[in-house]
Amino acid sequence: MTPIPVLRPDMPSADELLPYLRRIDQAQQYANFGPLCLELERRLAAGCAGQADQPVALTTVANCTVGLQLALMASVDRPRVKVLVPSLTFPGTVSGILQAGFEPVLADVDTTRWVLTPEIARAAMNRVRGIRAIMPVAAFGGALDAAGWDRLTEETGVPVVIDAAGAFGNQPIGRHTVVAFSMHATKALGAGEGGFVVARDPDVVARVRRLSNFGYMSAGGLISDIGVNGKMSEYAAAVGLAALDRWPEISAARRRLMTTYLNALADACPEIVVQERPVGGVYSLGVVRLPDRLRAETAAEYLASRGIGSRRWYCPGIYAHPAFLSLTQADDHVVVKHLDQHLLGLPFHLQMSLADIERVTGALQSVLALGARGRTGVAKATRSSGPRGSHLRAVV
């Protein structure tokens, strides 16, 4: 039985990288916004501007967590203020807030998109005094309502920094929002490691750029703000450029994979709920919500017995992590606590075949049927059942 891993990065090959690596050799500049980094920024900005009705400003960073940290520092004019953030997120989101010197306040998410919404944020701001910034998260790559967040900023004056780590190709750039993307190897657009920050306001992005270079106003000049070493290297930019060369092919393949998966799940497991997110988006994760009678840990154990990987992304929520127990909570996290028990990340990568998808959905179908008999029945089936599914053809 061939294992099916939950993720398998799809990165540029050595041959695809070689022309860019030779350019680094020729220029002999390896950091500090070299020629490859500048080219990557231009190409990324052009792609992001395609989703907006006016140009955007963009700067690369070493990783998305640093990008979130610096975007907050560049957007908020008061030190050590409270920042509202959803409890359903990767710990790096909250780490970025803390590293920026601010105080995270944890909030619940909505029931269908699994994200912090402007409505939830308004309610939290009425309950918790002193919230002066908001960091919503484009959970699992699903785009947030940039126009809705723009309206909240216009009504309240509170800046919004969007954690869109896995949402490149999906998340629009609003009039007021600042958006941080990741280029980690597991993302649809991967550079191994890296990220970038985008906004309509060029002054905010320029400040992020200075902060990522220790706060230097100019090369060898004076420090304007206390910053960090958060720049992208030329080598990461080379991988990013090679990945962008492949983006039309990769984005189309990921759309086909998602369509195939959704159809298979609808046929085999109609009880399973998928996240409400834009149709036709480019996604790097396949996360589902299991019915109330089946816990994610039980399904994960069952899938593992058949050589099928899974992962419980963002679960448990931030509220339950020992490192974050002292953080202020804006509400009781009713939705997040429910999702903690029932969200499960399924194998989702471009090396999956149709047979792999059939094997995953067939195993889910079986564990759902066994789940009606309780955990004992599932445990017995886990020990005794064999593999199923047959090889058909590649999805992409």
Give me the pLDDT at residue 372, please: 61
Residue 85's contacts (CB-CB under 8 Å, 6 or more residues apart) are 93, 94, 97, 104, 105, 106, 107, 116, 134, 135, 136, 137, 318
pTM given for the model? 0.93
β-strand pairing of 82-86 with 103-107: parallel
> So what's the pLDDT on residue 54?
79
Cα 157 to chain centroid, rounded: 26
Compute the C-alpha angle 265/297/380, nearest 5°: 90
- Cβ atoms of 316 and 339 within 8 Å: the answer is no
Q: What is the pLDDT of residue 212?
A: 97
Tokens of 246: 């492949």
Q: Which pLDDT score is estimated for 394? A: 37
Residue written as token pair 């203020």: 81
Q: Residue 225: its pLDDT value, please?
A: 87
Domains defined along the chain, listed by start: 14-245 (3.40.640.10), 247-384 (3.90.1150.10)
* Cα atoms found within 13 Å of the Cα of residue 102, Cβ hemisphere only: 32
**Alpha helix (H) residue ranges in 294-333:** 296-305
How do the pLDDT tens digits run along the chain, 396 residues long?
899 999 999 999 999 999 999 999 999 999 999 999 999 999 999 999 765 567 899 999 999 999 999 999 999 988 889 999 999 999 999 999 999 999 999 999 999 999 999 999 999 999 999 999 999 999 999 999 999 999 999 999 999 999 999 999 999 999 999 999 999 999 999 999 999 999 999 999 999 999 999 999 776 688 988 999 999 999 999 999 999 999 999 999 999 999 999 999 999 999 999 999 988 899 999 999 999 999 999 999 999 999 999 999 999 999 999 999 999 999 999 999 999 999 999 999 999 999 999 999 999 999 999 866 655 455 454 444 433 333 223 344
Distance CA 271, CA 132 (A): 40
Separation of CA 33 from chain center: 25
